[in-house]
Amino acid sequence: MNKKYLALALMGVVIAAVDARAEGKNGVAAVVNGKDVTVASMRDAYNSNPAIKNKASFDEFYKKTLDVFVDGELVYQAAVKENIQDTPEYKTQLKLAEQELARKIYLEKKVASQVSDAEVKKLYQEYKTKFKSEKEVKAKHILVDSEAKAKEVIAKLKKGGNFNKLAKEYSKEPADLGYFTKKVMVPEFSEAAFAMKKGEYSKTPVKTQFGYHVIKVEDVRDSKPAGLKEVEPQLKAMVTQASLAKTFQELGKNAKVTKYDLKGNVIE
């Protein structure tokens, strides 16, 4: 037996021992015309989809998709009964699927052998070295449709009104903008925000293409480079892209390739 499938089989045994209540009847989720739909196959589908894992537990997934797996088995049995696997369409698509799977696994292995934590950390150090600090502010705003309404908000702030409460009452969108540098916002907004000190709010409405803003600056600081954990996904993606480009370059260098245009002429 292939080591990979042996490992998966052993994993299924361990899971069954740890959490027997979720393993159906002796590892079987359903029996369809004498054929088993296993809990292990449903687990594999669940574990291979991070988007689903983030939204639901396996128990929830199991309850909601058991009928889907049963229907899938019914369709498969019907296809086998009609000898779909002997049709030209099946053979063509199977060949394409096999080629795509081979490419996928080959590239995954290549990337895994070339993308290391050391490469990611090296790229992170380069990012930190090149990083240039900029002034940034942390601000909230209240966005309204008219200048009159913005002035009404400012008048209430001058009388001691609470910015957060007024934002809930008046603003068309969430008030907290977090930290941002000057180039991030539209010019009119940035000019007003960066002219204020910590704790100040705009004394006159700030007009932009989105409407009229009342801005409150909560903090002013010099920007710092992001932490490794924060940018690690992007850095890994960059290293992965570099690895793929290197792989394609090496394969092309050692290959003899002749290309033709649609008229059959050789493309130089």
pLDDT, tens digit (0-9, with 9 covering 90-100), for 223-260: 999 999 999 999 999 999 999 999 999 999 989 999 99
Nearest to 223 by CA among 182, 193, 177: 182
The reported pLDDT for the residue numbered 161 is: 96
Nearest to 153 by CA among 80, 208, 212: 212
The reported pLDDT for the residue numbered 115 is: 87
Say what the alpha-carbon torsion angle 52, 54, 56, 58 is, to the nearest 10 degrees: 80
Is the pLDDT assigned to residue 7 strictly greater than 70? Answer: no
The reported pTM is 0.56
Whole-angstrom distance, CA of residue 114 vs CA of residue 108: 10
Q: Which residue has the tokens 């009388």?
A: 159
Phi, psi of 125 (to 5 degrees): -65, -35
Residue 95 CB neighbours (<10 A): 10
Give me the mean pLDDT over the 121-149 stretch.
95
Residue 40 and residue 46 in contact, taking contact as beta carbons nearer than 8 Å: no
- Cβ contacts of residue 201 below 8 Å, gap of 6+? 154, 157, 163, 214, 215, 216, 217
Helices assigned H by DSSP within 159-223: 163-170, 187-194
Q: Which residue has the higher pLDDT, 17 or 186?
A: 186
Q: Is the dihedral of CA 191, 195, 200, 204 positive or negative?
A: negative
Find the range with the poorest average confidence among 1-5, 71-75, 122-126, 202-206: 1-5
pLDDT, tens digit (0-9, with 9 covering 90-100), for 97-132: 999 999 999 999 999 998 889 999 999 999 999 999
pLDDT, tens digit (0-9, with 9 covering 90-100), for 61-85: 999 999 999 999 999 999 999 999 9
pLDDT band, residue 24 (cuts 50/70/90): confident
The reported pLDDT for the residue numbered 198 is: 96
Q: Which residue has the tokens 């942390």?
A: 138
Whole-angstrom distance, CA of residue 1 vs CA of residue 3: 6
Query: What average pLDDT does the chain have?
Result: 90
DSSP code string of 2-60: -HHHHHHHHHHHHHHHH-GGGSTBTTEEEEETTEEEEHHHHHHHHHT-HHHHHH--HHH
Whole-angstrom distance, CA of residue 223 vs CA of residue 257: 50
pLDDT band, residue 19 (cuts 50/70/90): very low
The reported pLDDT for the residue numbered 18 is: 43
Q: Which domains does the chain have, with CATH numbers?
A: 3-82 (no CATH), 135-222 (3.10.50.40)
The reported pLDDT for the residue numbered 95 is: 97
